[in-house]
Amino acid sequence: MRRITTIAVAVTAASALALAGCGRADEGAANTGSGGGSTAGSTGGGTAGFPADSLIGVSLPQKTSENWVLAENLFKTDLAGAGFKTDVQFANNGVAEQQNIVQSMVTKGAKVIVIGPIDPAQLGTQLQAAKDAGATVISYDRLLSNSPNVDYFAAYDNVKVGELQGQALLDGLKAKKPNGPYNIEIFAGAPIDGNATSFYDGAMKVLKPKIDDGTLKVVSGQTGFKQAATADWKGENAQKRMDTLLAGSYTNAQLDGVLSPNDTIARAILTSVKQAGKPIPVVTGQDSEVESVKSIVAGEQYSTINKDTRKLVKATVQMVKDLQAGKQPQVTDTSSYNNGTKVVPALLLPPMIVTKANVKEAYADDPTLSKLTNG
Amino acid sequence: MKHLKAVFGNDTRQFGMIFALIALIVFFQVRTNGLLLTPTNVINLFQGNSYILVLAIGMVLVIIAGHIDLSVGSVAAAVGISVAIAMRDWSLPWGLAILFGLLIGAIIGAWQGFWVAYVGIPAFIVTLAGMLIFRGLNQKIGDSDSIPVPNGYQVIGRGYLPEFGPLTGYNNLTLIIGLALIAAIVTGALRTRRNQRKIGADMAPMWTVVVRLLLICGAILAVTLLFASGRRGTSFPVSGLILGVLVLIYSFVSSRTVIGRHVYAVGGNKHAAELSGVKSKQINFLVMMNMSILAALAGMMFVARSTASGPSDGVNWELDAIAAVFIGGAAVSGGVGTVVGSIVGGLVMAVLNNGMQLLSVGADDTSIIKGLVLLLAVAFDVYNKSQGRPSLIGRLTSGRRDRPAVEQPAPADPARNISETVHTEA
């Protein structure tokens, strides 16, 4: 026994000696340069600027819609065009993958990390790591919450989007039939997406008074956000719900209009109505998806929203360029976007409603969509 | 060649995967210009995967017993949200909240174990139902929303060991843990040798033992240094420590205790096990219950790291855990597998993921590559078994096992023999 102990102690001691050779790495080998230390503590970050060929990380959510794919390509070309090294990644397997992606961007020494979060509340650890490494975080399209380490927010004004949708529904109904009451149904987006609540709240701001005074009648009675929600933003879920509503509430009544939060859901609703052999109601939308723009031109879907991804990416890349040059990026709102721990300076772009009436002007400078509207 | 094999302790099957892991690490270390093995990245690697590895520990036991558990992700999510709510709405202190979470895990586990062991419904069905039930429960309890958790609690997912003692340029506590581990391994090896001498067993030459110890201790020393030399305030992560303790406990239980051996026996051949006096129902119940408790722990660790519990927590975790177990050498038919093997399998996936993210490979390609690795790893294993060879590494280092099992009691062997006997009879 004693011999064993002696040998064990000797080996341990030898190992301990081996340790004495080298010391702790300065700030972790990944953090090139010492700019990290200076920005810690300041809200804006980047006041000192950084080299023009630095790495810029862009972490996007799941690759589920045309818009995100477009954003991916635009970020790649625009950032590369400005001379930056880029790393643009989707997190198709969910939150845990996005956490790892953001973390590896920090490890690679990205100076600015643009994040379109899947779940905005679950990246706290990675944002802290970004802050510790001196990187600036821009929250893209959805506001990162539950962390003080968010520097800027770039997005379209989503409450405004909802208001425009609500107003479009009213206008469409009036154009069809001058006087109410109108029978409508309400659809909302995915419950975990904070933007879905913004769209819904904005739309209800416009619709609620009309429901209360009897101009609008929701025949199914399903007006709450949770009742109206569409899991995962999936068309098939919306279609199933519309089938049920038509069978349950509209065997005798006529459906005049449907509030839909986006184009995918709007088309699902239209499919369901057509299959049931009912006349086409006024249906709103959002995102300017190719199929929906065709549908508007054909007079089926009533409206969509143009939130040009090109403009939002351009504005975000401009922020990155300003940060690189050591300038304060331009923001439009410094008071209303509180993420739970701090007010995040926001750059908000105005959304635009598109109906058959203005579809041509709306997409005049969009290379893909303008072909559809000029027919 | 025979001696070379002896250096690696003769468990060639497991060694094959370790070899693959080392090859992967070297590959990515070179391709990322040294980014892979920086302290920050290695710490992240552990923090970002420890919850999957915790699941793998439970999953390997479930799979050894011949079952599967598809509900772990949903169980983790249901427990995570309950704990988050308990802390927010009832102001439960976080220590108690963790116990509360483990208790919920145990109750859920008892529920699933009851259906599997005592009603006799296949675990696939029971846990498929559980997957739906507990996912729904997560969204119902949490209102499909994310709920933040307090800072103290976040320690189990993103915390570090404290700094204390003299300024050595390293995290002292990490160093102490590393050195203690080395001391324990050396002591253990010497004691085994002494016992062998006492009972007059056939012993490996002294130099192989020494070389082997030097290799293992060198590796531990290198890893310790890596963890200890990160930015000040960082160290070996707390989540890694939890994982390490669990690995030690479960390796011991599965290979050296009666109950552990019974799990292998039930999975290898249920009827033979029952005839030998193994209470198979009890074993099945315990295995399923244990899985849910570990899933609860994994869920809580993830929530702590994410700083919030959300409605999509745990999606696809069961697949990650199952993949880790099979890459680690477990058999679909049950009776075969080891805890350490599964951890190595999980690390192979983790390094693959991390390395490809560092190389900016897209999520689409990453998924394809991971799928192929899983398929090839298992195919490799099946092929070698059908050839009657332990593995490629075994063949390279001269073929068959020619030494008595006394020195290295390979945990999977007895059960594997049973299952292989059954296989040839059928």
What would the pLDDT profile of A57-76 be if each residue is shown by its tens digit? 999 988 777 788 889 999 99
pLDDT for B211 equals 86
- H/E element holding A137? strand A136-140
DSSP 3-state assignment of A154?
strand
Domain ranges (residues) in chain B? 2-159+237-425
Per-residue confidence (pLDDT) for residue A351, from 0 to 100: 92
Question: How far is the alpha carbon of A62 from chain B, nearest alpha carbon, in Å?
Answer: 9
For residue A61, what is the nearest residue in chain B, using CA coordinates? Answer: B363
**Could you tell me the pLDDT band of residue A12, with boundaries at 50, 70 and 90?**
low
pLDDT digits (tens, 9 = 90+) for A114-168: 999 988 899 999 999 999 999 999 999 989 988 999 999 999 988 899 999 999 9
Q: Does position A179 have pLDDT exceeding 50, yes or no?
A: yes
Report the residue of A24, A87, A97 to disrupt the B interface, i.e. the one with the largest count of B CBs within 10 Å: A24
Select the residue of A29, A107, A124 nearest B358 (Cβ to Cβ). Answer: A107
Q: Diameter of chain A by CA atoms?
A: 100
Question: What is the pLDDT at residue B201?
Answer: 78
CB A165 within 8 A of CB A322: no
Query: Is residue A30 pLDDT above 60, yes or no?
Result: no
Range in A92-106, B103-117, B167-181, B199-213 with the lowest mean pLDDT: B199-213
β-strand partners of B148: B308
pLDDT in tens, A100-117: 999 999 999 999 999 999
Dihedral sign (CA A350, A356, A359, A361): negative
Of B35, B229, B363, the CB nearest to A90: B363
CB-CB under 8 Å, A125 with B47: yes
Residue of A nearest to B191 (CA): A4
| Interatomic CA distance for residues A31 and B41, integer angstroms | 11
pLDDT of residue B407: 41
Q: Which of B230, B223, B245, B217 has the alpha carbon at shortest distance from B163? A: B230
A115/chain B closest Cα distance in angstroms: 15
Set of chain B residues whose Cβ sits within 8 Å of the Cβ of A229? 144
Torsion sign (Cα): B398, B404, B408, B410? positive
Selected residue of B307, B319, B354 to mutate for chain A interface (largest A Cβ count, 10 A)? B307
pLDDT value at residue A14 = 60
Within 10 angstroms of residue B42's Cβ, the number of other Cβ atoms is 20
Q: With contacts defined as CB-CB under 8 Å, which chain B residues touch A8?
A: 183, 186-187, 190
CATH 3.40.50.2300 location in chain A: 46-150+309-349, 158-307+354-373
> Residues A41-44: contacts with CB within 8 Å, 24+ apart?
A43/A151, A43/A342, A43/A345, A44/A136, A44/A151, A44/A328, A44/A345
A19-46 in b/e burial notation, b at 16+ Cβ within 10 A? beeeebbebbbbbbeebbeebeeeeebb
The first and second tokens of residue A182, run together, are 């109108």
For residues B234 and B243, give the distance between their C-alpha atoms in angstroms, rounded to a whole number. 17
Q: Which of A69-83, A251-265, B240-254, B407-421 has the lowest mean pLDDT?
A: B407-421
Residue A352 pLDDT class (50, 70, 90 cuts): very high
**Contact residues, chain B, for A7 at CB < 8 Å:** 186, 190
- Cβ-defined contact of B179 to A15 (cutoff 8 Å): yes
pLDDT-derived band at A206 (thresholds 50, 70, 90) equals: very high
pLDDT tens, position by position, B237-258: 999 999 999 999 999 999 999 9
Q: What is the pLDDT of residue A283?
A: 97
| pLDDT tens digits for range B162-188 | 888 788 888 888 999 999 999 998 998
Mean pLDDT within A248-274: 93
Cα B380 to Cα B371: distance, rounded to the nearest angstrom: 14
Position A153 scores a pLDDT of 94
Task: Give the CATH class of A158-307+354-373.
Answer: alpha beta
| B40-84 confidence digits (pLDDT tens) | 889 889 988 999 999 999 999 999 999 999 999 999 999 999 999
Contact between A191 and B145 using a beta-carbon 8 Å cutoff: yes
Q: Percentage of chain B with pLDDT > 70?
A: 87
Residue ranges in chain A assigned as alpha helix (H):
2-20, 35-39, 66-81, 95-107, 124-132, 158-176, 194-212, 225-228, 235-249, 263-275, 290-297, 309-325, 359-362, 369-373
Q: State how beta strands A282-283 and A303-306 pair.
A: unpaired
pLDDT digits (tens, 9 = 90+) for B311-341: 888 988 999 999 999 998 888 888 889 999 9
Please answer yes or no on whether B364 and A122 come within 8 Å at the CB atom. no
Q: What is the mean pLDDT of residues A337-363?
A: 90
State both tokens at B38: 């920086």
Chain B positions in Cβ-Cβ contact with residue A31 (cut-off 8 Å)? 40, 231
Interchain CB distance below 8 Å, B168 and A19: yes
Of B35, B157, B316, the CB nearest to A93: B316
The residue assigned the tokens 């996912």 is B135
Nearest to B358 among A4, A94, A108 (CB): A108
Mean pLDDT over each residue of chain A, to the nearest integer: 85
Q: Do A4 and B187 touch (CB under 8 A)?
A: yes
pLDDT of residue A235: 87
CB contacts, 8 Å: B39 with chain A: 25, 28-29
- A255 in Cβ contact with A145 (< 8 Å): no
A12–B364 C-beta distance less than 8 A: no
Looking at the predicted structure, is the pLDDT value of residue B402 above 60?
A: no
What is the interface size between A and B, counted as CB pairs within 8 Å?
A: 179
Mean confidence (pLDDT) of chain B: 85
* A46-150+309-349 fold: Rossmann fold (3.40.50)
Render pLDDT for B140-156 as a digit per residue (tens, 0 to 9): 898 777 888 998 999 99
- Compare CB distances from B187 to A8, A94, A118 and report the shortest one's residue: A8
List CB contacts of B99: < 8 A, sequence separation 6 or more. Answer: none
Name the fold adopted by B2-159+237-425: ABC transporter involved in vitamin B12 uptake, BtuC (1.10.3470)
- Using CA coordinates, name the residue in chain A closest to B302: A96
Tell me what pLDDT residue A40 has: 37
Q: Which residues of B touch A96 (CB under 8 A)?
A: 48, 302
| Residue B404 clears pLDDT 50, i.e. is over it | no
Give the pLDDT score at A28: 38
Cβ distance B360 to A100 less than 8 Å, yes or no, reads no
Residue A186 zone, left/alpha/beta (φ > 0; ψ -120 to 50; rest): beta
Contact B40 A29 (CB under 8 A): yes
Residues from chain B that touch A87, judged by Cβ atoms under 8 A, are 360
Q: Is the pLDDT at B422 greater than 60, yes or no? A: no
Give residue B403's pLDDT: 42
